[in-house]
Amino acid sequence: MATPSIASKNRNSVSLKIAGIYNLIFGTGVILFPNLLFDLCNIPQPRYPEIWQCVGMIVGVYGIGYLIAAQNPSRHWPIILVGLLGKLFGPVGFLYSAVNGVLPWSFGILIFFNDLIWWLPFGKLLAETFRESNLGESPEDKEFHQVVATAQSFQGRTMTELSWRQPTLVIFLRHFGCTFCRETLYMLAKQRDQIEKLGLSIAIVHMSDTHEGNNLLERYDLRCVEVFSDPSCEIYRACRIGRATYRDIFNLKSLGKSFSTAFLRRYGVGKIAGDVFRLAGAAVIHQGKIIGDTKPKIPSDRLDFLHLAKQHSLKKNSGIPFLEFPNLEIS
């Protein structure tokens, strides 16, 4: 039997699928029969029906967006938010037009089916996503030592193996669409030689699939570092990499830095690929233990992983020569 949370997610997915199908049917109808609704409501046909057909196209595109969001509502919540805003503003525009005699009240039947009936399911979806973003980590999360000893990189090695060869600087990325993720990759590529000269190896953990991850890392010439694909965020949780809240993402500081980083500094943005609320982070793991870490409080905080590497470089801090372990497979 499904748990309440799973059942709720299934209902949310069904609601979005229904909304998507409805939008596609309505949009197609408007494109093919632009005057039909006006005739049914005894309203003079528009002089330029092509404009109304464009509205139908937009509604249909929203439908495609809802069907995409139905695959993972928590990940694609921005689509739901934009849809809900449209369904809130639509009735406001209708009331203004109806009160001023521009549109008949009978036109309200369209507002009812296009907007009003979706307030509750869309609002519920966003509320659940908000609550999820503020939850702590699950007590069922695997222990740190179990995860780092079993999760394998694209190259086939675990973090435990890597950390016994030499201290390993592990970089936890935000989702690939985030401009701060791209900035982090640029800075990591730029500082990679300095970090490795300090005696640390580098590992990257991301939330996308292996193919997408390798493609993006190749753009920053980071193919040779150890790469862990973690779509379920199991490694993130084990290393206590937290999640942001709506307030962390949509405050003036974060929005301002997002615009500056993406457009003025030209790091760009991309599609959401992973948990949009998951923060970045960095940790130094040595002999299977975390000996130092840095964790931003909000998405726009910059990761100073070079400083972290300098703090925990055995070449610098130990009184004995640094020994690099041979590159042997550990069974």
How does pLDDT run across 269-310, given as a tens digit for each residue?
Answer: 888 888 888 999 999 999 999 999 999 999 999 999 999 999
What does pTM read for this prediction? Answer: 0.66
According to DSSP, the residues that pair with 172 across neighbouring strands are: 205, 281
Q: What is the distance between the alpha carbons of residues 189 and 183, in angstroms, rounded to a whole number?
A: 10
Structure tokens at 144: 């740190």
Q: What is the distance between the alpha carbons of residues 219 and 181, in angstroms, rounded to a whole number?
A: 13
C-alpha closest to that of 203 among 286, 146, 144, 302: 286
Q: Environment class of residue 204 by beta-carbon count within 10 Å: exposed (0-12), middle (13-18) or buried (19+)?
A: buried
In angstroms and rounded to an integer, the radius of gyration of the C-alpha atoms of the chain is 25
pLDDT at 139 (0 to 100): 40
**CA atoms within 13 Å, Cβ hemisphere of 294:** 17
Q: What is the distance between the alpha carbons of residues 143 and 208, in angstroms, rounded to a whole number?
A: 22
Domains, the chain: 4-133 (no CATH), 144-317 (3.40.30.10)
Mean pLDDT of the chain: 87
Q: Cα–Cα–Cα angle for 51, 56, 62, nearest 5°?
A: 130
How far, in Å, are 63, 65, 174 from residue 68 at the CA level?
Answer: 9, 5, 21
Would you say the C-alpha torsion 311, 315, 321, 325 has a positive or negative sign?
positive
C-alpha closest to that of 84 among 127, 135, 50, 21: 127
pLDDT at 134 (0 to 100): 56
Model confidence pLDDT, tens digit, residues 220-268: 999 789 999 999 999 999 999 999 888 888 888 888 999 999 999 999 9
Q: What is the distance between the alpha carbons of residues 277 and 118, in angstroms, rounded to a whole number?
A: 25
**CA atoms within 13 Å, Cβ hemisphere of 128:** 23
pLDDT at 323 (0 to 100): 41
pLDDT at 173 (0 to 100): 97
pLDDT at 46 (0 to 100): 86
Q: What is the distance between the alpha carbons of residues 267 and 182, in angstroms, rounded to a whole number?
A: 6
Q: What is the mean pLDDT of residues 118-143?
A: 72
